[in-house]
Structure 1
């Protein structure tokens, strides 16, 4: 695939440097390799902009995966707590919602009634 001439411009080199300074470590979850490439989240060929909000730093391995069709995930959340990864299920209104953790753990059930202790019974035993 031919390389877009834009990637040889001074403007791109400056933007790439800004991305690598902002994201010195790969933005894929669990990866702690140094960032190698400034990657468009939404590709330029699909209308993605050349602004910092649409760029992320990727290590050599994840950039190669992205170049061959695999989609790396983004780490982190925005200020509101929404995941940055556009593929996260929170961004899909039709996705099946996982059960609430209280349902999974059985915490939605009524608690067992507390044992009523006579006033003269101590809370501990003396030896």
Structure 2
């Protein structure tokens, strides 16, 4: 995707310091509950352990934004295989149903966390569906 390419460029010296930043896992794609075709997807990287937000170089691309996130409570389910739209939606629906049964309020955002490169055989890929909870 073009969003992934922009982030990859950022960590590959596409920043104000021309600094190379280690690629980390997971790569996170997130979307709000608006399931329309025009709904906006966000792609995120997790910075390497030991990185200080204050010391990360500014991006060259104005569409790349750095954001420090606080601690969150989330519900999650891990799975093996390609994170296809169909499988991701199925797992998301299962998680939301379980949360409803347990009276856990959830965000309308769903995150797909991919821990493996796309060229790794699908059956070996490790992924997670993560939904922030309000507890």
* Pairwise same-fold verdict (TM > 0.5): no
Question: When the two structures are superposed, what TM-score results if normalisation uses the length of structure 2?
Answer: 0.23
Decide which structure has greater helix share: 1
Higher relative contact order (CA 8 A, sep 6+): 2
Question: When the two structures are superposed, what TM-score results if normalisation uses the length of structure 1?
Answer: 0.24
Decide which structure has greater strand share: 2
